[in-house]
Amino acid sequence: MHHLLRSRSGDTIALECFDDVSGIKDGVPFAEQDKSGLAHNPISDSAIDLWKTFANWLEGRRGGYIPAGTKFVLYVAQPYKGKIAQRLCDCQSPQEAKALIADLRTKFWGTKPAYEKRAAIPESLGKYLNVVLQAKDATLTEIIRSFTLERGIGSPYDEIAAEIGNAPVGAENVPEILKQLAGWIRTTTFKQVEKSRAVSISRDEFFIEYLAAVRKFDRTDTILPSFATKPTAEETQAELLLGQTYVRQLHLIEADQGLVLDAVNTYLMAASERTAWAKRGYVHRSSYSLYQDTLLRAWRSKSASVKVAMRGREPADFGITLLSSCLEVDIKLQEKQVPEHFTAGSFHKLANALEIGWHPDFAELLAPAKEALDAA
């Protein structure tokens, strides 16, 4: 999946074809060996995994099933180090590669022509190491110059998740998208195995599934996700003790305790959403001003309607009706649906700034609070 996510149109990725992973990227064939060293370092100087990898590549080139011009990659899931592996990766010129080959023969075999160390090499290592060191310089040089060593962070899942997360999708949707893609790859490869076909996946097929998965799980194009949690009883009580203006507005219309507690919860949750959306890049800061302007227009419209409908009624009744009417409106932010508590909390934010109110005479009754806000 890591290769498919990084591939381009026209690329093909194969599994266990002529290597663990192989295919064509940007028109160039590649062969990759993947190693996971949970109990040992697979790229230490005397690691069997390292030399078996190069022996397999040599066999593939000699047998003709690894084509000329192939790029060779050794991927290690953990961030291990190996001096020889790194030197192999760092070789750029034919001269550097030939010099390294000579150094390796001296290190493991000793000085020529006797090669006095060769007999002491353990059989398990020698069956691969000797294949590499006795190869023709030209063949081995070709592989070394096309060799790349890649290391992971120890968690392939996290690496792939990070790759998906680099795309413009919500981070909270990455696990579901990854799960969907992994399932699709598994199903696709199993079907090919059942039909005795070589297992390969084209980037274009994968991209169609990737796009469908993003559209299925990442709904941030139409809905803003909620990150806020309901405040604890302690947080709610602390907010009440502050004597906030929006709470005083509710007391003016004799709102019951349930309405007051709901207002505190939505006010705090809306503030949390604004912080979360800004941090994650969901909402541009300029959009909040436009949203508040829309809320103000809605409040003015509702206030005018309630004034006619509630003519002659008690101010508290007027206020409760106006509040209820405003909390029923559905206003989008950046053309996206918002959580219900965000609209309610945003109305209370305006009430806290005395830009709106519920009591018909809220401005006069809370004039000292307005003066304090202006002074601040």
Whether 270 maps to a domain, the answer reads: yes
How many angstroms separate the first and last alpha carbons of the chain?
A: 55
Give the three-class secondary structure for 325.
helix
Confirm if 3 and 22 have CB atoms less than 8 A apart. no
Which of 217, 252, 282 is the last residue before a domain boundary?
217
Asked if residue 225 belongs to a domain, the reply is no
Are 33 and 163 within one domain?
Answer: yes
Contact 231, 341 (CB under 8 A): no
Supply the DSSP string of 133-152, one letter for each residue: HTS-HHHHHHHHHTEEEEE-
Q: Is 264 within a domain? A: yes
The 200-202 sheet, strands edge to edge: 147-151, 71-76, 28-35, 21-25, 12-15, 200-202
Say if CB 354 and CB 362 are below 8 A apart: yes
Residues 124 and 249 in one domain: no
347, part of any domain = yes
The rounded distance, in Å, linking the Cα atoms of 209 and 338 is 28
Q: DSSP 3-state assignment of 336?
A: strand
Cβ 357 vs Cβ 347: under 8 Å: no
CA distance 185 to 179: 10
Q: Given the DSSP bridges, would you call strands 71-76 and 28-35 parallel, antiparallel or unpaired? A: parallel
In this predicted structure, what is the pLDDT of residue 136? 94
355 Cβ contact partners less than 8 Å away, ≥ 6 residues apart: 292, 296
Number of domains in the chain: 2
> How much is the pLDDT for 369?
63
Is the domain of 241 the same as that of 341? yes
The single residue listed with the structure tokens 């992973």 is 21
Q: Residue 328 class from Cβ within 10 Å (0-12 exposed, 13-18 middle, 19+ buried)?
A: exposed
8 A C-beta contact, residue 245 and residue 255: no
Q: Both 261 and 195 in a single domain?
A: no
Same domain, residue pair 186 and 260: no
Q: How far is CA 194 from CA 189, 310, 360, in A?
A: 9, 74, 75
Which of 183, 217, 251 is a domain's end point? 217
Task: Print pLDDT tens along the chain (376 aa).
Answer: 666 777 677 777 766 555 567 778 778 888 888 888 777 899 999 999 999 999 999 999 998 889 999 999 998 988 899 999 999 999 989 999 999 999 999 999 999 889 999 999 999 999 999 999 999 999 999 999 999 999 887 777 777 777 776 676 777 778 888 888 888 888 887 787 777 776 678 888 888 888 888 777 776 668 888 999 999 999 999 999 999 999 999 999 999 999 999 999 999 999 999 999 988 888 888 899 999 999 999 999 999 999 999 999 999 999 999 999 999 999 999 989 999 999 999 999 999 999 999 999 999 999 876 566 565 5
Same domain, 20 and 144: yes
238 and 282 both lie in a single domain: yes
The residue segments making up the domain with residue 361 are 233-375
Residues 325 and 204 in one domain: no
- Alpha-carbon Rg for the chain, nearest whole angstrom, is 34
Domain membership of residue 228 (yes or no) is no
List of residues 6+ apart from 223 with CB closer than 8 A: 336, 337
List the beta bridge partners of residue 333: 336
For residues 77 and 177, membership in a common domain is answered with: yes
User: Token pair of 344, please?
Assistant: 């309610």
List, as one string, the DSSP characters of 32-82. EEEE--SSS-TTSTT-HHHHHHHHHHHHHHHHTSS-TT-EEEEEESS----
| Burial class, 354, CB count within 10 angstroms (exposed 0-12 / middle 13-18 / buried 19+) | buried
Rounded CA-CA distance 346/269 in Å is: 10
Predicted local distance difference test score (pLDDT) of residue 164? 73
